[in-house]
Chain A
Amino acid sequence: MSLGRRDFLKGLVACGTLAVMQRPAWASVGVMSPAVRPGESPLLLRTGTLVDQEFFGAVQAVLGSVGVAAAERLQLDRSDLARPQNLQRGLQSARGRCVVGVIEGAHAPLLFELLRSAGVAVPCAGEHSDAGPIADGASRHRLLTTPASYGIAALLQRGVPAALVEEHALGVATVPVPTTVPRDQPTGHWAAVTGHLLARVAVGTWKPSPPLARRPGLPPTDDQPTRHYASFVLQLPA
């Protein structure tokens, strides 16, 4: 495996300067401005998973609703996800941009290792399991959220009632409790609901709400999900 040392070092220390963060008055655990800069669309990381159609269909719908016609695709394919130098090149090419994506779960450990090394911000990430391409009942989800994305797990749970959803909300923050049920509650396949919610985090139209409370006595599952995925919104440093 050959790798230009200069490129490799650039990839590893890419976080030389982080983007300046805006802090809305109500949030108290470090908050990002919308991951996407005005006038810019997020890059989409598509690697041919079985849920691409549902996920990216929903992402595009949200982008369309805020006036973004067609999002660019980050130039990485499935085989790149197993090669650190290709991943690093992909991340380099997306400096200063927001990325929304879903990948097969097995690729997530390596990806997140390189994200950490590059100082990439992750406003939201999910781990998902389901029993196949069309089963949206027997699905399970763990969402990692930050102040920019608190509460999306509750909407995922409402949108896919038969799913098992947990939220790990980083930090403790005081967030306003919404007084009305959101009008645009997405429903349907978990990948579509997740894509919708992550896209809203990316473009800044998500209003954080209380993280999903942990349900005691979670029922045992007989279903054996066989497919695993990871979803995310990323903000790469400039």
Chain B
Amino acid sequence: MSSPYLALPQGVSAEQFGRAIAEFRTILGEEHVITDAAVLAPYTKIMLPVADAQHAPSAAILPQDVEQIQRIVAVCNRYRVPVWPISTGRNLGYGSAAPATPGQVVLDLRRMNRILEVDPELCTALVEPGVTYQQLYDYIQERNLPLWLSCPAPSAIAGPLGNTVDRGVGYTPYGEHFLFSCGMEVVLADGQVLRTGMGSIPNSNTWQVFKWGYGPSLDGIFTQSNYGIVTKLGMWLMPAPPAYKPFVVRYPQRTDIERIVETIRPLRIAMIIPNAVVIAGVLWEAGVFVRRSDYYQGAGQIDEAAVARIMKEHDLGYWNVYAALYGTPEQIEVNWKIVEGAFKASGGEILTENEVGHSPVFRYRADLMRGNMNLQEFGLYNWRGGGGSLWFAPVSQSRGSETLKQMEMAQRILKKHGLDYVGEFIVGWRDMHHIIDVLFDRTDPVQMQSAYACFDELLAEFTAAGYGNYRTNTAFMDKVANTYGPVKRDVDRRLKRALDPNGIIAPGKSGIHI
């Protein structure tokens, strides 16, 4: 039986869907409703170890303002057609722009790309979903404003609203993006528009300065969820410091991770090092500019001899710690003495811009730690090739013993499945985000199966050890939701039923269904 559509939402007939599409066309205009297979093709690109069809959209629609979104959700409710909102859609390794379940309509918010306000005195901004970090960066540069951004690795092409709402991180002192957001505007499934925090007060001028508002603070429930469509986000921007001192500390042994973390933790908690420190493993460090096949052609995990050769030939540590100091030159001088002393005592080799400023790898990290745009991390896709990438992202305490344990667990499981440990730790105040890129070749059916099985096993073992993932890809959202237990799932579902009883917004996001 043929259908005029690539896929249909579950439980929706072609006729019903056709009526919804016709109404979308009336609201948005023909050119902003995409059902053509060739134009939809880029929306179907995923890097996951599953069939593309599992995440195929039925259409994509592109509204330009809140009023159009309100009319869209009315249509969705009428015909039970679900929409999958994306801002810039750069969730690479987490599902990209494709929906969690097949047949959803991608609600592509890229036309809503206004920078509504930047206040250089209060150091705040208010942006729409389609604004990219590059766009905001250019806005700030053109006006010579003394403000820095904090961006994730896809930097230029990603967007602050989308990254923050998915609780992504950056590498500056403002790297915990959701923490440094302030106020949202959300279109609810019934078409009402909510402004969180102080935004609900008419004519408020404190929406972007005070997070909590009155009564229950609601911003969190609109992150990593499907309870509403976020159409504006307030952000706090870092004032440009008078001075900035990036540095790297290298350690030669795998087991050094334990004392690295014990050295960093007190410096982070005391905010002597104020930014999200990255402890990059050697394969992550090398992977952005080295091909695996140039060092190892075997089928299994890359062996230690090949890793040692990479370290030697490219002058890399087994662990490479990137951090920075910010402030006046006097403040930096004082803190540098403390930092240098601590790292030297731990046995690390400390290098600054004086020694490694010329290195593209150092420059890439130095750029990210000051919020400059740099896409070098895309080079990781060259490590193994074949377009497969899955981020496994458990959280640990900021304790050396914990990070050593997690690293060894991950390496063992990846080795069992013939995959490499390409990982780094991002050091928060008291937590570590352990980010592992499970890289595999999607043209190899065996590697597709291995990558899926590997992720499954990582999830099971880490959960059994008490470690939860902070974020995950669309193929594993239900499984990760299960690891947080039945009570959390029940509460999530009850909120969903209250706010979106017809389940029209992103069904399956974070494992939340009606």
A residues touching B (Cβ–Cβ < 8 Å)?
1-5, 8-9, 12-13, 15-18, 21, 28-32, 82-85, 104-106, 108-110, 112-117, 119-123, 125, 127-129, 140-142, 144, 146-148, 164, 166, 168, 170-174, 218, 220-222, 224-228, 230, 235
Stretch at the interface among B189-197, B265-273, B377-385: B377-385
Please indicate the chain A residues that have their CB under 8 angstroms from the CB of B138 in the complex: 2-5, 8
CB distance from A2 to the nearest CB of B (A): 7
Min distance, Cβ B438 to any Cβ of chain A, angstroms: 15
Closest 7 CB pairs of A and B: A228-B385, A226-B293, A116-B42, A106-B382, A146-B37, A140-B443, A171-B6
Specify which chain A residues have a CB less than 8 angstroms from the CB of B97 in the assembled complex: 116
Cα A106 to Cα B389 in complex, Å, equals 12
Q: How many pairs of residues, A versus B, come closer than 8 Å at their CB atoms?
A: 196
A12 in complex: contacting residue of B44, B132, B142, B374, CB < 8 Å: B132
Find chain B residues with CB under 8 A from A12 CB: 110, 113, 130, 132
The residue in chain B whose Cβ has the minimal distance to the Cβ of A173 is B2
CA distance A15 to B88 in the complex (A): 15
B446–A220 CB distance below 8 A: yes
- Picked from B111, B157, B381, the residue with its CB within 8 Å of the CB of A84 is B157
- Residue on A nearest B40 in the bound complex, by CB: A170
**Inside 8 A of A32's CB, which chain B residues have their CB?**
36, 38
Cβ-defined contact, A129 with B38, below 8 A: no
Q: Which listed residue (B113, B134, B378, B444) contacts A109, Cβ 8 A?
A: B378
Interface residues in chain B, defined as those with a beta carbon under 8 Å from any beta carbon in chain A: 1-7, 31, 34-45, 47, 51-53, 56, 88-90, 92, 96-97, 110-111, 113, 130, 132, 134-135, 138-139, 141-142, 156-157, 291, 293, 297-299, 372-375, 378-379, 381-382, 385-387, 441-446
Q: Quick check: A29 and B113 within 8 Å, CB to CB? A: no
Nearest CB in chain B: distance from A49 CB, A: 12
Closest-by-CB residue of A relative to B389 is A109
Q: Which of A21, A84, A122, A226 contacts B375 (CB 8 A)?
A: A84
Q: In the assembly, what is the distance between CA of A21 and CA of B134, in Å?
A: 33
Among residues of A, the one whose C-beta sits closest to the C-beta of B154 is A113
Partner of B4, one of A18, A28, A82, A225: A28
Q: Note all chain B residues with C-beta closer than 8 A to A122.
A: 38-39, 41-42
- State A220–B448 Cα separation when bound (angstroms): 11
In the complex, chain B residues whose CB is within 8 Å of the CB of A1: 134, 156, 372-374
